[in-house]
Amino acid sequence: MNIRIQACVFLFFVPGAILLAQCPPLGPIVGPPQLCSAAPNPNVYSIPNSADANLVWTITVDPDPNSVQFVGPPVGEVVVLQWWGPVAWATVIHLCATPTNPCYDPTPICLDIIPPPHLDPVPVPFTVCEGDEVVFEWQGPQGQNYTWWSLPHGIAIGAPQQGSGDLIFTAQNPTDMPLFGGGHVTSWVGSCRGISIPWSLYVNPKPEMNQPADVSVCGGAPVSVTFSGSPNATFTWTNDNPAIGLPAAGTGHINYVSPKVPQPEVGTITVTPQYTNNGVTCSGEPVTFQITLDGAVVEDPPDITVCPGAPVSVAFAGNGDSYSWTNSNPAIGLGASGTGDINFSAEGSALQQTATITVTPQPCPFASQTFNITVLPAAFVNQPADVVVCSGKLVTVALTGSLSTTFNWTNSNPAIGLPASGSGPFINFSAANVQSDQTATVTVTPVKDGCTGQPVTFQITVERCCATSAGDLDTNFIAVCGPKTVQVIHLGNENLEPNDTIRFILYSNPADPMGSIVQYSDTLYFPFLQGVMHFDSVYYAAAIVGPQMANDSIDASAGCFSLMKGPELLWRSIPTITVGSPPDSVCRDGCADVLFTFTGTPPFGFTWLIEQGGQVLIERTETATGYSLTLTVCPSDFDVPGMDGAMNFRVNFLMDMFCGCGE
């Protein structure tokens, strides 16, 4: 193994001690005091005659310690520095070399290096509008100057190709989308060149819009204006006349319903297209157009409520050339549509009728107004029947008609016992005791919701009726067989005035009782009068009351004559039977035919028998459906041992369908 002895080491022998001599001191670091990118070997640093010092190099950069680094190992006599990016925030780059050979002074040898020329701050991309002035004012440490150049896309946005000092130009963008462009800038201090830094920006296009057409509508009409122009453009607008119904300013398309104006109104709308990108809004050239509202209007008529039959007149006011109208309910008596003012007579019905009238001024259909015409329900009263009553009797007349109706009435003749006027659903009164018949005309007028309906009239007659009454007879039908006396039943409820007499009559013509009297009777008994009355004819009984005349009859012409009809009466003829002559004798083993003939009303029922000496040998009951019947009688039917001689043949019972007389 070889051992190298440094020339700087000297040994001195001193009694009792050994001394070590120091190596010679190192000089300062040699290298450029400022970093540059264009000088020859600008980044080489060394300490001459330091090969044996075994130097270790370090760099301190604030705030970015990695922006300057060694090229190769940081040891030895020479080191090379490299840097990138703008070392913009470093005020000093502190480079130190520390000897590690023990014979050298271990104190670090340092050099403060000035950072390369740089911008402060570093430019960042931003956004401008087409046509804006772009100014890059380069800033950095004092004493620097600057050169710049533009890349092709930078030239495309309006930047010059190259130059020095600040960069100022007018941004250009002939497209309808954002353009990106830029280049580089280099900082210099004398001939020391710094690193080239990029500059860039976005140029938004200047939006354009198509010219909107002027709008002219009637007041009250919808207004719709859609703007168009550059892609992705938005629109803001102002309006110089809010009387057209549009605010003084707004954004986007225009859609609204215009107001109904009393006179024409014109608004000038100024629209500005805008384009927004990266938070920057660029405005294009404004355009203007006009919105004109025609002033044709009609005043809103008030609602109307009328009674059926009332005249209705509505005159329209406004500034339209003319007026048209429609009617939602022709049941009120007005047609479904028309022009001009409205004049008609309201038609009524049982129910209330309401119509909505829409009136439109011409030529502006959107300026229409509506109002209602209400026709109240029609009041009516049903026709009452005429009334005839006797003096002192209660009179009740019910008045009916439309619902919720008041019935007012007047009476032309209060002598009947009814006041001259009144109101209500019933007319109730006791008829006056009049000396002669009185007739009154009653007029009833219906009123509902203040509307008067068509009046109706009827008559009430009060008669001077007598209290005379013949009373009531039992009216059950009475039929008898043969000329018997018949009794009728009187209920005893007659009423006789002074000088009145009651009689009972039998008559034959129900249409003329007094002219067809067959019998008078002071009692309730009527006999069958041969030669005057006829069997199987119907007669009628009645009670009569009136003054008795000299001939003992009742005066039927008296004012208080009373006749009360009673029952029907019928005298049936008695049925008869005749037995034809049988043979005087008949053999025991023979037979004889016996002929029976009848009068009366078939069918007939009878019983015949044969007897001898009070002993009944045979008895039979027969029925004949006609007026004759032949029976065959044979002795063998009643043969009795030892029987001989004469026998008696007779009928002991006879009846027809009405009478069972047993003759």
179 shares a domain with 161: yes
| Higher-pLDDT residue of 71, 433 | 71
636 vs 200 pLDDT, higher one: 200
- Contact status, residue 46 vs residue 77, Cβ threshold 8 Å: yes
The answer to whether residue 463 is domain-embedded is no
Please state the rounded mean pLDDT for residues 237-257: 96
pLDDT at residue number 641: 66
Checking if the pLDDT of 19 tops 50, the result is no
What CA–CA distances, in Å, run from 140 to 145, 351, 376? 9, 96, 95
In DSSP terms, 45 is beta-bridged to 79
Last residue of a domain, one of 353, 375, 397: 375
Q: Which of 162, 284, 263, 154 is nearest to 219 (CA)?
A: 263
Using CA atoms, how far apart are residues 546 and 562, in angstroms rounded to an integer?
7
Q: Coil, strand, or helix at residue 109?
A: strand
Q: Are residues 28 and 77 in the same domain?
A: yes
Q: Let me know whether 340 and 363 are in one domain.
A: yes
Q: Kindly write down the DSSP assignment for every residue of 181-247, as one continuous string.
A: EEEEEEEEETTEEEEEEEEEEEEE----BPPPPPEEEETTSEEEE---BSTT-EEEEEES-GGGS--
Say if residue 159 is in the same domain as residue 225.
no
What CATH number does residue 44 fall under? 2.60.40
Residue 660 lies in a domain: no
Question: Which domain does 558 fall in, by range?
Answer: 478-572
User: Quick check: is 382 in a domain?
Assistant: no
pLDDT of 116 strictly over 50: yes
How high is the pLDDT of residue 634?
A: 85
Residue 505's nearest CA partner among 465, 558, 561 is 561
Q: With contact defined as beta carbons under 8 Å apart, do 271 and 251 qualify? A: no
The closest alpha carbon to 194, from 31, 35, 33, belongs to: 35
The Cα–Cα gap between 97 and 104 comes to 12
Would you state the pLDDT for residue 2?
A: 28
Are residues 318 and 391 part of one domain? Answer: no
Q: Is the pLDDT of residue 18 over 80?
A: no
Residue 367 clears pLDDT 80, i.e. is over it: no
| Residue ending a domain, choose from 375, 402, 418 | 375
**What are the two backbone dihedrals, phi and then psi, of residue 153, each rounded to the nearest 5 degrees?**
-70, -20
Are residues 393 and 367 part of one domain? no
Q: Which residue has the higher pLDDT, 282 or 661?
A: 282
Read off the pLDDT of each residue in 437-454 and give the average, rounded to a whole number. 92
Calpha distance 196→146 (Å, rounded): 10
As a whole number of angstroms, the distance between CA 25 and CA 9 comes to: 13
- Domain identity same for 155 and 259: no
Instruction: For residue 89, name the pLDDT band (cuts at 50, 70, 90).
Output: low
Among 65-74, 110-119, 312-321, 450-459, which range has the highest average pLDDT? Answer: 450-459
Residue 661 lies in a domain: no
| CATH of residue 146 | 2.60.40.10
For 160, other C-beta atoms within 10 Å of its C-beta total 14
Same domain for 564 and 580: no
- Across the chain, mean pLDDT equals 87
Q: Report whether pLDDT(640) > 80.
A: no
Lowest mean pLDDT among 313-327, 582-596, 634-648: 634-648
Worst-scoring range by mean pLDDT, 85-99, 193-207, 505-519?
Answer: 85-99
Q: What is the pLDDT of residue 643?
A: 65
Position 42 scores a pLDDT of 66
Q: Tens digits of per-residue pLDDT, 227-243?
A: 999 999 999 999 999 99
Give yes or no for residue 266 having a pLDDT over 70. yes
- Three-state DSSP class for 53? helix
Cα Rg, the chain, nearest whole Å: 73
Residue among 99, 121, 115, 122 at smallest CA distance from 29: 99
CB 268 within 8 A of CB 283: no
Among 101-105, 481-485, 512-516, the least confident range: 481-485
Per-residue model confidence (pLDDT) at position 345: 92
Give the confidence band of 90 by pLDDT, cuts at 50, 70, 90. Answer: low
Residues 303-337 have pLDDT tens digits of: 999 999 899 999 998 877 889 999 999 999 999 99
Domain presence at residue 612: yes
Q: Are residues 91 and 17 in the same domain?
A: yes
Contact between 543 and 564 under an 8 Å Cβ cutoff? The reply is yes
Interacting residues of 528 by C-beta distance below 8 A, sequence separation 6+: 482, 483, 484, 485, 486, 571
Whether 371 shows a pLDDT value over 90: the answer reads yes
Residue 472 lies in a domain: no
- For residues 38 and 107, state if they share a domain: yes
42 lies in the same domain as 95: yes
pLDDT category at 41 given cuts 50, 70, 90 is low
Give the model's pLDDT for residue 3. Answer: 28
Residue 470 falls inside a structural domain: no
Q: Is the pLDDT of residue 17 over 50?
A: no
Total count of domains within the chain: 7
Using a pLDDT cut of 70, give the percent of the chain over it: 93
How far is it, in rounded angstroms, from Cα 222 to Cα 219?
9
Instruction: Pick the more confident residue, 280 or 297.
Output: 280
Are 568 and 631 members of one domain? Answer: no
Select from 72, 90, 116 the last residue of a domain: 116
Does 336 reside within a domain?
A: yes
